[in-house]
Structures are given as C-alpha cells and as structure tokens.
C-alpha cells in the first residue's frame, strides 16, 4: 500500500504539473478526433470499399491516448526528458516498483480521460454513429479500441523506460509503422477493423466478446510490461 501511495503522489504531480498543457491536450485530441472522424465516416458510407487508411489511422493513434501530454512528452527527443526524470526519481527515497506503478497509473487515467474526449467527439462527428441509439454500442466500440491501445501503449512504456530519447524516437516510428503493415494485411485478407468493431458492438453491446478480450489482453500486456520494466529499470545505467 505504501508503494501505491507513493506512486499516486508522483502521478498526481505529473497530472497537475502543467495546467496550460491541459488546454493543448484538448485541442490536440479534438484535432485527432475530427481528422479520423472524416475517414471513419467515409468508410461507413462506402462499406463495399474497405479502405485501410482509416484502420491505419486508428491503429497508429489510439495508443497515444494512454499518454499524459505534458512538457516532458514533447521534449523527450531534444532533452532526453524521460531519462532525466528517471535519474531524478532514483535520487529520491522511492523504489523502482513505485516508479513503474506510477507510470501504469498515469496510462490508465490518461486512457479514461483522453479516451472519453476522443470517442465522444468521434461519435458526434461521424453521422452513422449519431444515428445509433444504443449506449452499449458506444461503450463497446470505445473500449474495444482502448483495449488495443493498452496493448500497444505497453510497448511504448517499455521502450520509454529503457532507452535514450533518440532511440525511443526511432523505435516509436517502427511501432507506428507496424500499423501500416497490420492495416494492409487486414485489407488483403478482406477485412476492415472499423467495420468489424462496429458490427461486434452493434450485435453484442456491452457484452461484446471483442471488447472483453481486448481489455483482458490490454491488462495482461500492461502487467507483463510492468514486470519487465521493473526488472530492467533496476539495472539500467542512467548516466
């Protein structure tokens, strides 16, 4: 419990450190939601043509809903801010377990807050979604994608904790680039993630197997990632 309380102190400080950044976060999320909404809307209007572009956008962007957008997030390449933060925390009387727990807390809170803003805006801007009168659909659609985001965000967190800023940049590009490959493979196989998620959410609502499997996989991936981060963080050279 002590580690959890210590982790929460770090988390609350990170969330409240830059109030102006909250405004920029809203603007950024609104821009992402509106941009992807046009692509999703176009896909739903022409279901016979399964366009991989909308899939690619969501596969690439959804994981970033698990990030707290602050000065450190935007300065990691220039200042290697993540490494500096870890070096600073190592000087404090907190253990590696507390540091990792705080990062998981931040990711969960970010997914809840950013995800709510992002998907509410998407549902408002995508006309076919506005016509659906099922709260269960909205919950299932959003949480299915957030579960996927948790899986991929775990990879980003693992890299964030264990490498320098420039290496993190290139590995992040590689992870994002995999979205193009995944979307292309799904399209070649005759599928479309947006249409599939919509159909599953409409058919099952909050009981959607896709939603529960996605969330379970996301939680399992975060747990695995936290254990690997803890093991590596203890011996990482932060000089």
Banded pLDDT at 167 (limits 50, 70, 90): confident
Which stretch of 41-45, 65-69, 74-78, 180-184 has the lowest confidence by average pLDDT? 74-78
Q: Which residue has the higher pLDDT, 11 or 31?
A: 31
Q: Is the pLDDT score of 198 beyond 80? A: yes
Banded pLDDT at 71 (limits 50, 70, 90): low
Banded pLDDT at 149 (limits 50, 70, 90): very high
Q: Is the pLDDT score of 108 beyond 80? A: yes
pLDDT tens for 27-66 read 888 988 999 999 999 899 888 788 888 999 999 999 989 8
Q: Is the pLDDT score of 85 beyond 80? A: no
* Per-residue pLDDT at 14: 73
Q: Which residue has the higher pLDDT, 15 or 178?
A: 178
Separation in Å, CA 15 to CA 19, 20, 102: 8, 11, 11
Q: What are phi and psi of 39, to 5 degrees?
A: -70, -40
**Both tokens assigned to 126:** 């995508």
* Mean pLDDT for the stretch of residues 143-157: 94
* Per-residue pLDDT at 102: 85
* Mean pLDDT for the stretch of residues 116-137: 93
Q: Which residue has the higher pLDDT, 37 or 161?
A: 37
Which stretch of 51-65, 89-103, 155-169, 186-200 has the lowest confidence by average pLDDT? 89-103
* Per-residue pLDDT at 121: 94
């Amino acid at each position: 419990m002590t580690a959890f309380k210590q982790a929460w102190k770090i988390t609350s400080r990170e969330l409240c450190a830059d109030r102006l950044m909250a405004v920029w976060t809203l603007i950024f999320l609104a821009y992402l939601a509106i941009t992807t909404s046009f692509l999703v809307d176009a896909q739903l209007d022409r279901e016979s043509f399964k366009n991989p572009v909308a899939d690619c956008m969501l596969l690439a962007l959804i994981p970033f809903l698990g990030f707290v957008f602050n000065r450190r997030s935007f300065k990691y390449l220039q200042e290697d801010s993540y490494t500096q933060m870890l070096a600073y925390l190592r000087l404090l009387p907190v253990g590696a377990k507390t540091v990792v727990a705080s990062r998981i807390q931040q990711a969960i809170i970010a997914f809840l807050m950013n995800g709510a803003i992002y998907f509410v805006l998407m549902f408002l801007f995508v006309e076919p979604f506005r016509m659906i009168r099922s709260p269960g659909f909205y919950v299932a659609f959003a949480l299915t994608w957030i579960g996927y985001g948790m899986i991929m965000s775990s990879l980003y967190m693992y890299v964030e904790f264990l490498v320098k800023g420039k290496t993190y940049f290139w590995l992040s590009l590689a992870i994002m680039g995999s979205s193009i490959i995944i979307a292309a493979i799904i399209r070649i196989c005759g599928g479309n993630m947006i249409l599939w998620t919509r159909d599953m959410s409409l058919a099952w609502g909050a009981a959607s197997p896709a939603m529960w499997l996605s969330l379970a996989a996301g939680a399992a991936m975060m747990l695995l990632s936290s254990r690997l981060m803890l093991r590596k963080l203890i011996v990482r050279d932060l000089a």
